Chain A
Amino acid sequence: MSIVIWGLIKFIVVLLLISLYVLFMTWFDRKVLARMQNRVGPKLIGFHGLWQPLADGVKSIWKEDVMPGKAYKFMFWLAPVITITTAFAISFVIPFAPPVKTASGVVFHFSVVNLNVAILFVFAFLGLSSYGVLYAGISSGGSKYPFLGAQREGAQMISYEIVLALSLLNPILMSQSLNFETIVAAQTHHLWYAFYQPVAFVTYLIAMFAVAGKVPFDMPEAESEICCGYFVEYSGLKMGLYPFAQYVVVLVLSAIMVLMFLGGWNGPFWDGGFVAGFIWYWIKVAFFIFLFTWIWGTLPRYRYDQLMDIGWKILLPITVLNIFWTGFALTIGLPFF
């Protein structure tokens, strides 16, 4: 019974914290992008424009909710719901801090559920989250830009989730576990897996951007080509749910990157203890979240055929060969494995 109550409490806390994080991230993105272009960004509402996201939220609530006449109403409503639900579902298996051993000897996990198949769960729901985008494109009543965006999202997800999964297979093989906390624990006694698996690290880094749909792989919503792609026909709060979900996915993918390859809450020095672990973990995650914004401000968009070429002709063969190499090294027991 206490498991259910604790689960509910954690659920609500994580829900609120992530909403807060997304609000802050919209401000952070705009501010950093503006400064990279020598502008100042939001600055009027609150301290350095910190309340700007709230103002945006209030504005989008009062916006007129327009729906195309030919839209499939049920699917049109369902699409943002699927997107946001799956995005939140992924975040519920991510540990937000190192586990703590309480006085009674019970281990307290800082994730809503400490799944033993957390990585499989993540992949399942990442795959499902593209359904929200596909539905948005199909149900927009034959409007061509949402349809093109949805097609691109489908193709991109199929190509890059394979790469993402296959590059995560290497740490999984090495730690023999699908649980994030076990994988981190396996890296405490070794070097971090990024040092054993530099190729998988880089391929995951590239696939991460494609799966999150961020620059330079923001094909589904390419503003300059198909004017925001799949959510063109949406307005107001429903439209806001798509960027919202995208920010959650960015957080989750950054957290997985840190947990799988960069040793989670292990630091290069000043190790052990809850506070140290917490700080190391969030420094690393924050760096990758910043990297998304940084690359957004730097790189242009790849062409569509280049995206497919990178995925199928370069990354996929490399990751498959890398898995063979990992298996080989583990089988014969190389000293570093």
Chain B
Amino acid sequence: MFFSDFRKGLMVTLKYLFKKPVTENYPYEKIKMPERARWLHNFKAEKCIMCKMCVNICPPKCITMDIGKNAEGKRKLNGYDMDIDRCIFCGFCVEVCPTKAIIMTDVHEFADSNRNNLHFNMQQLASVGEGKTEVEEEKKAV
């Protein structure tokens, strides 16, 4: 009779009118990634022991390892390429690495219109997500 259901509904919308919106202002304000976010890999060649475990475990087979020999006849890592285009960010390579030479960072804005730009070589992977160390990575694993 006195439109009490209307009034209730109107009061709800009026309350929400003065609430803060929940929208993330994303491309203008960066979102803080959660601590265990699995994004672009960082690879440290000096730690790699060339066991090829990451190459074998990678489900989409996107890691290519080029192992040659140096002057003394020892094994030497010539190249370490990742085809991020095919990577599914499962994190298996990180889990399986015995020396934590490969870790995952929170760098997630690397979309590109050209597929060739998503092929990362050893030098490019080494400079991904500067400052993120394996100490953090260990903390994550705990």
Contact = CB atoms under 8 A, between A and B. Distances in A.
B16 A36 contact: yes
A295 B10 contact: yes
A71 interface: no
B23 interface: yes
B21 interface: yes
Residue of B10, B12, B18 with most partner-chain A CB within 10 A: B10
B13 A297 contact: yes
Interface stretch (A37-45, A61-69, A103-111): A37-45
Interface residues of A, number: 13
Contacts of B142: none
A297 B9 CA distance: 10
Main secondary structure of the interface of B (DSSP, over half): helix
B23 A35 contact: no
B51 interface: no
B12 A298 contact: yes
Nearest to B12: A298
Interface string A295-334: 1011100000000000000000000000000000000000
Contact of A294 (B10, B18, B22): B10
Contacts of B21: 34-35, 38-40
B77 to A, nearest CB: 47
A113 interface: no
Nearest to A32: B17
B23 to A, nearest CB: 5
Contacts of B12: 298
Interface string A71-107: 0000000000000000000000000000000000000
B22 A38 contact: yes
Contact of B16 (A38, A40, A295, A299): A38
A39 B21 CA distance: 5
B75 to A, nearest CB: 55
A316 to B, nearest CB: 19
A187 to B, nearest CB: 25
A38 B19 contact: yes
Interface string B1-19: 0000010011011101111
Contacts of B13: 36, 294, 297-298
Contacts of B10: 294-295, 298
A37 B18 CA distance: 11
A47 B82 CA distance: 44
A309 to B, nearest CB: 17
Contacts of B18: 35
A14 B82 CA distance: 66
Which of A40, A294, A295, A298 is packed against the most chain B CB atoms within 10 Å? A298
B35 to A, nearest CB: 27
A35 B16 contact: yes
Interface in A3-37: 32, 34-37
Interface in B13-52: 13-14, 16-19, 21-23, 25
B9 A299 contact: yes
Nearest to B22: A38
A173 B25 CA distance: 56
Given A35-B19, A294-B14, 10 more contacts: A35-B16, A35-B18, A36-B13, A36-B16, A38-B19, A38-B23, A39-B22, A39-B23, A295-B10, A299-B9
Interface of A: 32, 34-40, 294-295, 297-299
Interface of B: 6, 9-10, 12-14, 16-19, 21-23, 25
Closest 6 CB pairs of A and B: A298-B13, A36-B13, A40-B21, A298-B9, A40-B23, A38-B22
